Amino acid sequence: MMNFPSLCYDNRFDDGTPVASTTATGYSVSNLQDWRAYTWWKPTALPATVTVDCGAAKTADYAVIVGHTLGTSGATLEVRGSTDNFVASDVLVATITPTSDNPILLQFASTSYRYWRYKITGGATMPAMAVAAIGTALEIPGDLAEGFDPLTRTVQGTINKSVQGHPLGRVFDYEAWSQDLNFGVITWDWLRASFIPAWKGHLRGSPCVFIWDPVSHSDELYLVTLGDNFKTPHSAGGYANLQFTVSGVHTS
């Protein structure tokens, strides 16, 4: 279970080819892997599953969904693991029945299976999902520096007033969220062994989900892209600071 700010990018669905029980035309199951909150997978019948064969047992400790209509549909989402492609082995790892379409983070004890599966049951209408990942979180072993603001919102828009000064209305385009993150007391070993491989493997080029407080505010998720660079200035005691920028839009 995560305790520190974390980046969720690892995805068991990248270890094989996801196979859906059913797929509506134009809603390819591969859309779940592309980290785009506007390309969707949608089944044509419930219960529905998306299964991946990782080739060997692989570990996961979270599942994250950004962009879905499970809440509107009234469906239940299950994360399941199996050692034999769900013939005799079919283990429920985590489950949720969302009450809204806000992003979902499911945390569970780290466990390994060769076969991983999302299973959707119930639901009055056919739900759709945009970004889905089951994986192991990159937990940053340090606290956010003072000044981090998870709630700030920047409105892009226009205010209209009449000739005689009366307010006529305000038009806004979107709410942006961007933060310069600064983590202190990070070990050089962790940076070299965990962060830099993650940067090279995913973070520098693709979005990820950032969770600033997995313990108390696990529902505050941001689908973000990292800036063009990260910095690791040396700090006292043989540690480093880790600095990078995340930016995205509020999704809830």
Interface residues toward other proteins, by CB under 8 A: 26-28, 30-31, 33-34, 36-40, 42, 67-69, 72, 101, 127-128, 130, 156-158, 160-176, 249
Q: Do the beta carbons of residue 120 and residue 75 sit within 8 Å? A: yes
The minimum distance between CB 166 and other proteins, in angstroms, equals 7
- Cβ-based nearer residue to other proteins, 132 or 137: 132
Q: Do the beta carbons of residue 23 and residue 42 sit within 8 Å? A: yes
The minimum distance between CB 219 and other proteins, in angstroms, equals 17
| Cβ-proximal residues to 87 (8 Å cutoff; 6+ apart), any chain | none
The minimum distance between CB 154 and other proteins, in angstroms, equals 10
* Residue whose entry in the numeric block shows the structure tokens 């050692």: 83
The minimum distance between CB 30 and other proteins, in angstroms, equals 6
Task: Please give the Cα distance from 51 to 84 (Å, whole number).
Answer: 12
Q: What is the biggest distance separating any 2 CA atoms in the chain, rounded to whole angstroms?
A: 75
User: Residue 146 burial (CB < 10 Å; 0-12/13-18/19+)?
Assistant: exposed
